[in-house]
């Protein structure tokens, strides 16, 4: 799931839609992970981005299991 570019939509409300789009575009163009793209753009270090992503993935899974 982490290698799927659509995961950035979970972070868009936190990062901002422009930043999320910039990260997704860079990841797609360079065929790298979202984490690597965010770091190469100088926006987040890998640890911080992974932490944000993990938090959102967990929240999303919790929301789905509550349904």
The answer to whether residue 67 sits within a structural domain is no
Check: pTM over 0.85? Answer yes or no.
no
Radius of gyration of the chain (CA): 12
The answer to whether residue 25 sits within a structural domain is yes
The pLDDT value given to residue 65? 63
Strands of 1-67 (E only): list them: none
The pLDDT value given to residue 62? 72
The answer to whether residue 66 sits within a structural domain is no
The answer to whether residue 36 sits within a structural domain is yes
Of residues 7 and 63, more confidently modeled: 7
The answer to whether residue 42 sits within a structural domain is yes
End-to-end CA distance of the chain: 21
The answer to whether residue 39 sits within a structural domain is yes
What tens digit of pLDDT does each residue of 44-65 get?
999 999 999 999 988 877 766 6
| Percent of all residues in the chain with a pLDDT value above 70, rounded to a whole number | 90
Q: Find the CATH number of the domain harbouring 24.
A: 1.10.40
The answer to whether residue 13 sits within a structural domain is yes
The pLDDT value given to residue 4? 86
Structural domains of the chain, count: 1
Range(s) of the domain holding residue 39: 5-60
Cβ count near 35 (within 10 Å): 21
């Amino acid at each position: 799931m982490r290698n799927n570019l659509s995961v950035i939509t979970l972070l868009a409300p936190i990062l901002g839609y422009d930043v999320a789009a910039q990260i997704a575009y860079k990841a797609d163009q360079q065929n790298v992970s979202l984490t690597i793209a965010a770091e190469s753009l100088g926006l987040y270090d890998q640890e911080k981005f992974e932490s944000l992503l993990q938090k959102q993935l967990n929240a999303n899974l919790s929301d789905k299991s509550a349904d």
